[in-house]
Amino acid sequence: MITGHRGAASLAPENTLVSIEQAAKSGATWVEIDTQLSADNIPVIIHDKTVNRCTDGEGKVSELDLETLKTLDAGNWFGNQFEGTQVPTLEEALDKCVELDLTLNLELKTYDDKTIDTLVEQVVSVVKQKNYPLDKLLLSSFSKDALAICQAQLPQVRRGFICEVWNDFSLESLQELDLFSVHIDHQILNADIANSIKEAGLVLKIWTLNAPEKAQAFYDLGVDYIITDKPNEF
Nearer to ligand G3P, 21 or 34 (CB): 34
Nearer to ligand G3P, 68 or 224 (CB): 224
Q: Is 162 in the site for ligand G3P (CB under 6 A)?
A: yes
| Residues contacting ligand G3P: total by CB under 6 A | 11
Distance CA 33, CA 187 (A): 21
Alpha helices in 107-155 (DSSP H): 116-129, 144-153
Q: Is 107 in the site for ligand G3P (CB under 6 A)?
A: yes
158 binds, among ligand G3P, Mg ion, none (CB under 5 to 8 A by kind): none
Nearer to ligand G3P, 45 or 149 (CB): 45
CB 71 within 8 A of CB 25: no
Binding site residues, Mg ion, CB under 5 A? 34, 107
Q: Is 181 in the site for ligand G3P (CB under 6 A)?
A: no
Please report how close the Cβ of residue 96 comes to ligand G3P at its closest, in angstroms. Answer: 18
Closest CA to 184 of 143, 223, 215, 145: 223
53-60, Cβ contacts within 8 angstroms, sequence gap of 24 or more: 53/77, 54/13, 54/14, 54/15, 55/87
Q: What is the SS3 assignment for 216?
A: helix
Nearer to ligand G3P, 68 or 103 (CB): 103
Q: What is the SS3 assignment for 11?
A: coil
Question: Per residue in 192-210, is it b (16+ CB within 10 Å) or e — as a string?
Answer: ebbeebbeeebbbbbbbbb
Closest CA to 32 of 13, 15, 55: 15
Distance CA 7, CA 34 (A): 9
72 binds, among Mg ion, ligand G3P, none (CB under 5 to 8 A by kind): none
209 binds, among ligand G3P, Mg ion, none (CB under 5 to 8 A by kind): none
Decide if 183 is catalytic. Answer: no
Q: Is 183 in the site for ligand G3P (CB under 6 A)?
A: yes
Q: Is 34 in the site for ligand G3P (CB under 6 A)?
A: yes
183 binds, among Mg ion, ligand G3P, none (CB under 5 to 8 A by kind): ligand G3P
Decide if 5 is catalytic. Answer: yes
Among 5, 159, 205, 230, the active-site one is 5
With a CB cutoff of 8 Å and minimum separation 6, the contacts of 103 are 29, 30, 31, 97, 136, 137, 138
Catalytic residue numbers read 5, 47
Give me the residues that bind ligand G3P (CB under 6 A), please: 5, 32, 34, 47, 107, 140, 162, 183, 207-208, 227
